Amino acid sequence: MALLLPLLSYCFLMLISIISPPVTYAFNVSTLSFDDAYSPLFGDGNLIRSSDGKSVRLLLDRFTGSGFISSDLYNHGLFSASIKLPSDYTAGIVVAFYTSNGDIFEKTHDELDFEFLGNIEGKEWRVQTNVYGNGSVSRGREERYLLWFDPSREFHQYSILWTEKNIIFYIDEVPIREVVRSEAMGGDYPSKPMSLYATIWDGSSWATSGGRYKVDYKYAPFVSEFKDLVIQGCAVDPIQQIPTSSPNCHQPSAAEDEDYAVVTPERRLAMRKFRQKYMTYSYCYDVLRYPVPPPECVLIPSEQRRFKETGHLKFGSHHHHGKSKRRSRIPSSSDGQSAM
Ligand SMILES: *[C@@H]1O[C@H](CO)[C@@H](O)[C@H](O)[C@H]1NC(C)=O
Ligand SMILES: *[C@@H]1O[C@H](CO)[C@@H](O)[C@H](O)[C@H]1NC(C)=O
């Protein structure tokens, strides 16, 4: 009898893993263990490594959030992780997966963000991407989306590709956003080495409906999980910008020759479809903020018609209230990581 229960639950777990298909990894890249490439950033007690070192959980409780940072800085690369977000009541919670050099270049920092914004029970998570170049925090380049799946149910792969020529945000194998570098962007295009960060924190004052819904610690701890950690890039010394030893660094062009740096016609179609269906805000259509859209904006008339002059979608119930604000992702840090 004593054996039966564990056996049954084992069978049950096996059954579950057969039923839910594994998320196939979109790119041919090798993963890194946590200890090989990352260090705790804050809230150490709420950062829980798996015994094999291949995955890590970041918790938020009433005392602190938590986060980790790559041990090196990289000049360009593919930064990727499979992430599973907290479920149920997640209002006010922010999970962020991003590259930044704000700790080193306080006034001229670069940043590329995936930010996951929690929601009240029964409503879906929303995702924001953002691009900052050379400290232009007044020129946030936010886009917001809904997802075609529930990101708290299973792992999905989120990737940030940054090359000298373009930036692509991927969810699984779908490119959801591409920023093509142009002369006109100048310093607004991120150009200095960045670290990779992952954090969970209390964004009560703005994350859900502009702060209307706060984190409810009755449901704590809130658990986010990260695995399949990928960094394909060239580790460099941030000041001298010379390469340090890095197994995945294929000089000189590194990431830009890789398959994932190219938006093939097939990928472009998938991106177009995603944006038509799931994008709920774009700074490019926010004429109140940008009477003249920034130079990298590609305005698509059929798409533009669906957005108000605030940059928010005209129809549908997914409106976001409140003003955009910069908030620190790391409550104790003063350099103020970005967020809208
Ligand atoms: C994946 O990459 C490795 C090494 O970079 C290469 O040897 C292998 O052939 C690649 N596999 C596929 C399916 O492209
Ligand atoms: C970044 O900003 C600094 C300070 O404003 C400026 O001196 C520098 O030229 C800028 N870099 C680029 C690449 O525009």
**pLDDT value of position 68:** 98
**22-261 maps to which CATH number?**
2.60.120.200
pLDDT in tens, 269-280: 999 999 999 999
Residue nearest to atom 9 of ligand 2 (CA): 187
Residue nearest to atom 10 of ligand 2 (CA): 187
Strands 166-171 and 174-180, how do they pair?
A: antiparallel
Report, as an integer, the average pLDDT of 127-138. 92
Rounded CA-CA distance 125/119 in Å is 6
Residue 250 Cα to ligand 1 middle (Å): 14
Judge contact between 43 and 77, C-beta under 8 A.
no
Residue nearest to atom 1 of ligand 2 (CA): 134
pLDDT in tens, 6-46: 544 554 444 444 444 444 567 888 898 999 999 999 999 99
Give the ligand at the shortest distance from the Cα of 136.
2
Residue 236 Cα to ligand 1 middle (Å): 25
Q: Which two tokens stand for residue 328?
A: 């620190």
Judge contact between 280 and 146, C-beta under 8 A.
yes
pLDDT in tens, 98-107: 999 999 999 9
Give the ligand at the shortest distance from the Cα of 192.
2
Judge contact between 75 and 162, C-beta under 8 A.
no
Percent above pLDDT 90 for the chain: 68
Pocket of ligand 2 (CB under 6 A): 108, 134, 186-187, 191
**pLDDT value of position 27:** 86
pTM of the complete model: 0.85
For a pocket test of ligand 2, which of 108, 110, 192 has the largest count of ligand atoms closer than 8 A to its C-beta? 108
Residue 284 Cα to ligand 2 middle (Å): 23
Lookup result for tokens 């914004």: 117
**pLDDT value of position 247:** 56
Whether the pLDDT of residue 3 is over 60: the answer is no
Q: Which of 9-23, 198-212, 260-274, 323-337 has the highest mean pLDDT?
A: 260-274
Q: Which atom of ligand 2 is nearest to the CA of 134?
A: 1
pLDDT-derived band at 59 (thresholds 50, 70, 90) equals: very high
Q: Which atom of ligand 2 is nearest to the CA of 188?
A: 14
Catalytic residue set: 111, 115
Rounded CA-CA distance 141/211 in Å is 21
